[in-house]
Amino acid sequence: MLNELRIDRASKVRTKAGNALGFTLIELLIVIVIMGLLMSLVAPAMFSKVDSTKVKTAQLQLEMFRTSLEAYRLDLGTYPSALEELRNSSKSGWDGPYLPKSIPLDPWGNQYRYRVPGDDGRPFTLSSLGQDGQLGGSDDAADIVYIE
C-alpha cells in the first residue's frame, strides 16, 4: 500500500509540474495573434523610414560628388565632362582620384545624372531620378536634384 501511495503521489506531482511549466495551445495562439496585430501597426511605419533613408542617402552622395567636382575644378580649372573623370583621367594637372571608390549607383540602383553646363546657368547639374528611375515624379518617386 505504501508503494502504491508513492506512485500516485509521484504521478500527481509530475502532472502538476507539467501543467505549471508549459503553455496551452490557446495561450500560444493568443500570443501569436497579439504579435501579429502589433506587427501590422509597426511595419508600415518602419517601411516608410526605409524610403526616406534612401532619399537622404542620395542627397548625401550628391553632396559628396559636389565636393569631388570642386576639388577637380580647383586642380584643372574646369569641371569634368563625365563623373568617371573623378576616378581616372589623363588630363594634365589631374591630381586624383577625387573619389575614394568607384562611382556608386543611387540607392535605387540607377546611375546618377551629371550635366555640364548645368541647368539655369549653373556650372553643373547633379541628380538622381528617384525610386521610379524616370524624369519627374512625386513623393518617393520624385527626382533628387543637387542645387547649390
Q: Using alpha carbons, list the distances in angstroms from residue 110 to 37, 44, 81, 83, 118.
A: 36, 25, 19, 14, 20
65: left (phi over 0), alpha (psi -120 to 50) or beta: alpha
Question: What pLDDT shows up at residue 131?
Answer: 80
pLDDT at 66: 92
The pLDDT of residue 142 is: 80
Quote the pLDDT of residue 49. Answer: 66
**What is this structure's pTM?**
0.63
- Rounded mean pLDDT for each run of 10 residues along the chain, 148 residues in total: 52 52 85 87 72 84 91 91 88 85 88 88 88 76 78
Give the per-residue pLDDT at 15: 52
User: For residues 116 and 27, what is the distance between their CA atoms, to the nearest angstrom?
Assistant: 66
Whole-number pLDDT of residue 63: 92
